[in-house]
Chains A and B, each alone.
Chain A
Amino acid sequence: MIEFDRVGKSFGDTIAVEDLSFTIPGGEFLALVGSSGSGKSTTLRMMNRLVEHDRGTIRFQGGDIRLRRPEDLRRRMGYAIQSIGLFPHWSVARNVATVPQLLGWPRARIEARVDELLTMLGLDPARFRDRRPRELSGGQMQRVGVARALAADPEVLLMDEPFGALDPVTRRSLQGEMARIHRASGKTIVLVTHDMEEALSLATRVILMDQGRIVQDASPAQMQAHPANDLVRSFLGRGPR
Chain B
Amino acid sequence: MRFAARVADFARDPLAWALAALLFLALDMQALRPLFAAAFPALDRPLYEQEGFGTLLLEHIGIVAAAGLAATGAGLAAGIAVTRATGREFLPMVETVVSIGQTVPPVAVLAIAVPLIGFGQEPAILALALYGVLPVLRATIAGIDSVPAGMREAADGLGMRALQRLWLLELPLALPVILAGIRTSVVISIGTAAIASTAGARTLGSPILLGLSGFNTAYVIQGALMVGLLAVVADMAFERAGRRFDQRR
A residues within 8 Å of B by Cβ?
A: 48, 50, 71-75, 79, 81-89, 98-99, 102, 132, 145, 148-149, 158
Contact = CB atoms under 8 A, between A and B. Distances in A.
Contacts of B157: 48, 50, 74, 79, 81, 158
A72 B152 CA distance: 17
Given A83-B151, A132-B249, A158-B157, 11 more contacts: A81-B154, A83-B153, A84-B154, A85-B150, A86-B154, A87-B169, A88-B151, A88-B249, A89-B173, A89-B249, A99-B158
Contact of B160 (A71, A81, A88, A89): A71
B153 A98 contact: no
Given A88-B249, A89-B249, A74 B159 contact: yes
A41 to B, nearest CB: 11
B164 interface: yes
Interface in B145-188: 148, 150-161, 164, 168-169, 172-173
Contacts of B173: 87-89
B14 to A, nearest CB: 29
Given A88-B173, A89-B248, A89-B249, A74 B158 contact: yes
Contacts of A86: 151, 154
Nearest to B151: A85
A108 B154 CA distance: 25
Interface of B: 148, 150-161, 164, 168-169, 172-173, 248-249
B147 to A, nearest CB: 10
Closest 3 CB pairs of A and B: A85-B154, A79-B157, A83-B150
22 contacts: A73-B159, A74-B156, A74-B158, A74-B159, A75-B159, A81-B150, A81-B153, A81-B157, A83-B148, A83-B151, A84-B150, A84-B154, A85-B150, A85-B153, A85-B155, A87-B168, A89-B249, A102-B158, A102-B159, A102-B160, A102-B164, A145-B154
A46 to B, nearest CB: 13
A87 B158 CA distance: 12
A207 B148 CA distance: 31
B58 to A, nearest CB: 37
Given A83-B148, A89-B172, A89-B248, A71 B161 contact: yes
Contacts of B150: 81-85
Contacts of A88: 151, 173, 249
Most chain A beta-carbon neighbours within 10 Å: one of B152, B157, B158: B158
A83 B157 CA distance: 13
A84 B173 CA distance: 17
A13 to B, nearest CB: 21
A132 to B, nearest CB: 8
A73 B161 CA distance: 11
Most chain B beta-carbon neighbours within 10 Å: one of A50, A84, A86, A98: A98
Contacts of A149: 158
A50 B151 CA distance: 14
Contacts of B148: 83, 85
A158 to B, nearest CB: 8
Contacts of B158: 74-75, 79, 98-99, 102, 148-149
Nearest to A88: B249
Most chain B beta-carbon neighbours within 10 Å: one of A85, A89, A102: A85
Contacts of A132: 249
B167 to A, nearest CB: 12
Nearest to B169: A87
Nearest to A45: B157
A25 B107 CA distance: 69
Contacts of A81: 150, 153-154, 157
Most chain B beta-carbon neighbours within 10 Å: one of A75, A88, A132: A88
